[in-house]
Structure 1
Amino acid sequence: MQLQLISIVLILHCMEYTNCQHASRHRPHKQSMSSGCQSGCLTCSEYNGCLSCKPRLFIFLERNGMKQTGVCLPSCPSGYYGTRSPDRNDCTKCRAECDSCFTGNFCTRCRPGFYLHQGKCLQTCPEGRVPSTAQRECVPECPVDCDSCVNSDTCTRCAAGFFRLQGKCYDTCPEDYEPSDLLLECIPQVHCEVDEWSEWSPCSRPGKTCGFKRGEETRTRKVIRTPSLHGNLCPPTNEKRDCVVRKKKCPGKGNRRPDRRIRNNRRDKENQESRQERKREREKERKVTGGGEWEDSESRNKTERRRRRGHTPRSPISMDGGVGQ
């Protein structure tokens, strides 16, 4: 009987204690509307901070030792992702291996020691991929000449000294392609193209419009496509050739070069004037010295000329057949 009484007392005491604890746990703290709260809070309390947020803001619990204080943010901090509901928007912590995440099952960056692959943070990358410590991702295992790639068959950037073409890297570009040091790619070669030749120009001579027979004529063509750095160069775009035209006399001027007949007549006239001048000189000399002396002088001149030509004058022959002394 005593045991039953003790049991009843203990039960009553425990019920009283439980009600007291429950009342203490759920005793409401002093709350206020947004007028006395931090920016973004809809309701708050002095002890717990923001209890609810204004529309489109996320409530985030900041931990300070054992105490948690609510704040309202436009977006969740790193390591948390936001979830929306009709009642409130919460910031939820990412998985332990995630440094940041989009949802609870989709990481966007991993913590050190893990590598991101398709939204998951893995310690070991799958086959065909290798871990990148800098990016904390599982990246494709690229060929030796690739600096980065989509997969083992498609490069997005080539190593130094190589040029990319259609996802492949080449140290020497294929035929009809040339390397571009600016783009680090193989680009199509461009060869020079020229238009058709123009008509030949009229025959002309530099600095003259008349009085010439031989001249020069030219023709040109335009470049319609400029070659690339290693493309075929352009051929000549102008040509010249000699030409002959009917000589055209310049107005107001005679011929500068007289023909042969005129030149011969002029020479004959000069010779005739020279002979006449010599004849006049001899006549003057004869008048001064007298006729006999002139004849002797003329005879001596003839004898001297024959001697110079190699003729020896004959000795006069006497009437009796002897040689004159």
Structure 2
Amino acid sequence: MQLRLISWFFIALNFMEYIGSQHASRVRRQGRMHPNVSQGCQGGCATCSDYNGCLSCKPRLFFVLERIGMKQIGVCLSSCPSGYYGTRYPDINKCAKCKADCDTCFTRNFCTKCKSGFYLYSGKCLEKCPDGLEANNHTMECTSIVHCEASEWSPWSPCTKKGKTCGFKRGNEVRVREIVQHPSARGNPCPATSESRKCMVQRKRCQKEGKGRRGHRNLCMWPGPV
């Protein structure tokens, strides 16, 4: 009888040790999966893990997963990095990835800047711009085609010949205009900005300068038509 009691005692003792070891193992696993709030966390984390980094963030910070090799680490940032957009919820602020062709975006369906090789148009990234638009390689956007615009013609200039306005009957007169809008790559080219045409005037002699007896310059008289 005494031997049986001793046997039951050792069985109960071993069972209690087993229960204790299982509880300790469960506590260790929970400690790894659910770390203490704030204690030992850095970089804006509210809760964190030695293995997974931040699990949640302090108020107004965005939670984002960064891939390091085969592992993802949680970080908390004041704004989302390039290629992500931020969404705010009552319990958490998260950074989500933009579409693959977006460099930056406002929402997943509205890009604000495209990756190389794509052109931005109405929040979308396109390899080719729609009809009526052209690709701007400076801004990487689809923009309206701009045609050349010129001002009105100036009045015709005085009739001249070899730079003179006298001593001839037939000469040339010119008029000019300015380009007020240069065309874009696919826009209509600019027209000529000057024109000339033949002109006729009443022939007159050019003035001649000479010294008179008293040192004054004398001017020739202007004759009538020749």
TM-score under structure 1 normalisation?
0.37
Matches within 5 A, 1:236-275: none
Q: 1:42 aligns with which of 43, 46, 61?
A: 46
Runs of 4+ in 1 over 3 A off after TM superposition: 169-172
The DSSP-based 3-state class of the residue aligned with 1:34 is coil
Percent sequence identity over aligned pairs: 58
2:217 is matched with: none
* CA root-mean-square deviation: 2.5
- Partners of 1:32 and 1:44 within 8 A in 2: yes
2:162 is matched with: none
Whichever structure has more helix as a proportion of its residues is 1
Matches within 5 A, 1:38-117: 38-117=42-121
Q: 2:129 aligns with which of 125, 135, 157?
A: 125
CA deviation digits over 1:139-173, x for unaligned, max 9? 11111359xxxxxxxxxxxxxx6336xxxx9998x
The residue type paired with residue 179 of structure 2 is F
CA deviation digits over 1:281-320, x for unaligned, max 9? xxxxxxxxxxxxxxxxxxxxxxxxxxxxxxxxxxxxxxxx
1:82: Cα distance to partner?
0.6
Name structure 1 gaps, 5 residues minimum: 1-23, 147-160, 173-325
Q: 1:162 aligns with which of 160, 179, 183?
A: 179
* RCO higher in structure (CA 8 A, sep ≥6): 2
Aligned length: 129
1:237 is matched with: none
Change (3 A) 1:170 1:65: same
The DSSP-based 3-state class of the residue aligned with 2:87 is strand
Matches within 5 A, 1:79-228: 79-145=83-149, 162-163=179-180
- Partners of 1:41 and 1:51 within 8 A in 2: yes
Larger-gyration structure (1/2): 1
CA deviation digits over 1:49-89, x for unaligned, max 9? 11000111101111110111111001100100011111211
Between the aligned partners of 2:59 and 2:110, the Cα distance in structure 1 is: 26
The residue type paired with residue 134 of structure 2 is V
- Partners of 2:109 and 2:123 within 8 A in 1: yes
Name structure 2 gaps, 5 residues minimum: 1-25, 151-177, 182-189, 194-226
